[in-house]
Chains A and B, each alone.
Chain A
């Protein structure tokens, strides 16, 4: 049995690593992406037909988008494989629940841990942005909060979903069919209004587009009139996600 656990644990770790390696994602990866795409590609764009994107340089446009997209990825990584490992493979929660801890404590604990990881990732990313000189507004540090909220808006619903799963099969599907497409097409790399009408509609249904728009407004100093709506959407996703996670975890762990 210990062999089985070790096997599955490593299996879980394998997929986490292939997703990108958590530490690497949080610092080196944004640094490289901003250098390669923001600076390199940015220099092409500055001599292209539009020169600026939504009124700012491509680097200034890209950086806050990547900030929000990165916390989305972190939230996905943290709420899939490690969680099912604790529910199903390592049975960590069973051990915890044999103590005075309640299921509510467990969910609150996981959400707090996620928030902590997101804070770390977002703060490091923000420092990289300062390094690249892409911070143009006094309210910019609020973008860290927006990024954390974006991460929670993805992480909490995914956590709720993970609690319903028996195997890890669905996670790579979420990664490939939701997270990666959103990362690439969800407004971080180019304005959403370039997408076909239908895809634009879909994009605005997800938290990422709102997180990107809000973070971008804050760091570029061009806060749009829909900022309030963006914030509400993020809050709604996160809150409903936490409620759902409480329900599904309770169903799963109190058999």
Chain B
């Protein structure tokens, strides 16, 4: 009897209409805190101004792309866009999600309604993506206004940033299920800061010695940066396929880990 029952036990598949209600909950919360959402846009913009233009004036046009030198701001802007997609997704999932999961026990209450664990995961990731999309769209408009966009391929930059956001939201949600306490978040930061600094964000990957280049290639942010930079500068090549596949696979893996672990944590 026990054997047949556990064999029948299976996860409730997600439904978009159910997950949408969790997104609605978040919009109700942030209607009051809209300034918080807007100010999240400020940091990447400041980085763009400080590094792209401030430091850019010192760098000049020493970066060569497709055989022609480009201004440093053109080079660094898509990287700032990618970093902000990563930061937004990680903060929303790893930090806020953990807070709701472990401290306010929000999901224990949600799961007493028709919503299931998969709906919760889908809803939270969708919300993170929604915020990320807002920032990405805003950022690309600023880039256009500052003349940092060099190609019509840039139209695809927003969906590309969404993909990057999805990857990090999925990984962040999975990470949140492993976090035991706030101290563990230092570990999350110990991963995030090097990702931000060493993913060919500020200078081309070719500046690294050969073996280090291979290490940088492992960084998901590197692939996001590469993807966005290719689109906004119009240097489209076959390596993009690799970037896309890497991000999709990592996102799917994160989602699978998150769903399995959440199922076990919430539905004991």
B43 touches A176 (CB 8 A): yes
Q: How far is the CA of A18 from the CA of B92 in the complex (A)?
A: 11
Main secondary structure of the interface of B (DSSP, over half): helix
Q: For residue A23, which residue of chain B has the nearest CB?
A: B186
A17 touches B185 (CB 8 A): yes
- Segment at the interface with B among A32-40, A70-78, A129-137: A32-40
Q: How far is the CA of A36 from the CA of B200 in the complex (A)?
A: 10
Q: Which one of A17, A48, A194 lies within 8 Å of B59 (CB-CB)?
A: A48
A65 to chain B minimum Cβ distance, whole angstroms, is 12
Q: How large is the interface on B (under 10, 10 to 19, 20 to 34, 35 or more residues)?
A: 35 or more
**A184 partner residues in chain B, CB cutoff 8 A:** 46-47, 49-51, 54
Number of CB contacts from chain A to chain B under 8 A: 106
CB 8 Å contact bits of B182-224 with A (1 = contact, 0 = none): 1001100110011001100011000100000000000000000
Q: How large is the interface on A (under 10, 10 to 19, 20 to 34, 35 or more residues)?
A: 35 or more
B109 to chain A minimum Cβ distance, whole angstroms, is 15
CB 8 Å contact bits of A110-122 with B (1 = contact, 0 = none): 0000000000000
**B235 partner residues in chain A, CB cutoff 8 A:** none
B62 touches A47 (CB 8 A): yes
CB 8 Å contact bits of A184-218 with B (1 = contact, 0 = none): 11000110001100000000000000000000000
Within 8 A of B (CB), among A17-56: 17-18, 20-21, 23-24, 28-29, 32-33, 35-37, 40-41, 43-45, 47-50, 53
A44 touches B62 (CB 8 A): yes
The yes or no answer to B91 lying at the interface (CB within 8 A) is: yes
B68 to chain A minimum Cβ distance, whole angstroms, is 16
**A139 partner residues in chain B, CB cutoff 8 A:** none
B186 touches A173 (CB 8 A): no
A77 to chain B minimum Cβ distance, whole angstroms, is 13
B58 touches A185 (CB 8 A): no
Within 8 A of A (CB), among B34-85: 35-36, 39, 42-43, 46-47, 49-51, 54-55, 57-60, 62-63, 72
B105 to chain A minimum Cβ distance, whole angstroms, is 11
Q: How far is the CA of A14 from the CA of B190 in the complex (A)?
A: 16
Main secondary structure of the interface of A (DSSP, over half): helix
A33 to chain B minimum Cβ distance, whole angstroms, is 7
Q: How far is the CA of A43 from the CA of B58 in the complex (A)?
A: 11
Q: For residue A176, which residue of chain B has the nearest CB?
A: B39
A173 touches B39 (CB 8 A): yes
B103 touches A190 (CB 8 A): no
Q: Which one of B57, B95, B185, B207 lies within 8 Å of A40 (CB-CB)?
A: B207
Contacts A36-B197, A44-B62 given; indicate if A189 touches B182 (C-beta within 8 A). Answer: no
CB 8 Å contact bits of A158-200 with B (1 = contact, 0 = none): 0000000000000011001100110011000110001100000
The yes or no answer to A125 lying at the interface (CB within 8 A) is: no
A185 touches B59 (CB 8 A): no
**B51 partner residues in chain A, CB cutoff 8 A:** 184, 189
The yes or no answer to B99 lying at the interface (CB within 8 A) is: yes
A46 to chain B minimum Cβ distance, whole angstroms, is 9
B65 to chain A minimum Cβ distance, whole angstroms, is 13
B58 touches A48 (CB 8 A): yes
Within 8 A of B (CB), among A220-254: none
- Chain B interface (Cβ < 8 Å from any Cβ of A): 35-36, 39, 42-43, 46-47, 49-51, 54-55, 57-60, 62-63, 72, 91, 95, 99, 103-104, 182, 185-186, 189-190, 193-194, 197-198, 202-203, 207
- Chain A interface (Cβ < 8 Å from any Cβ of B): 7, 10, 13-14, 17-18, 20-21, 23-24, 28-29, 32-33, 35-37, 40-41, 43-45, 47-50, 53, 58, 172-173, 176-177, 180-181, 184-185, 189-190, 194-195
Task: Given contact pairs A36-B197, A49-B60, A185-B54, enumerate 13 new A-B contacts (beta carbons under 8 Å).
Answer: A10-B99, A14-B99, A17-B95, A18-B91, A28-B190, A44-B203, A49-B62, A50-B58, A176-B39, A184-B51, A190-B54, A190-B58, A194-B57
Can you sample 27 A-B contacts with CB below 8 Å? Answer: A14-B182, A17-B185, A17-B186, A18-B91, A20-B189, A24-B189, A24-B190, A28-B190, A28-B193, A36-B197, A40-B202, A41-B59, A44-B62, A44-B72, A44-B203, A48-B58, A49-B58, A50-B58, A176-B42, A177-B39, A180-B42, A184-B46, A184-B49, A184-B51, A190-B50, A190-B54, A190-B57
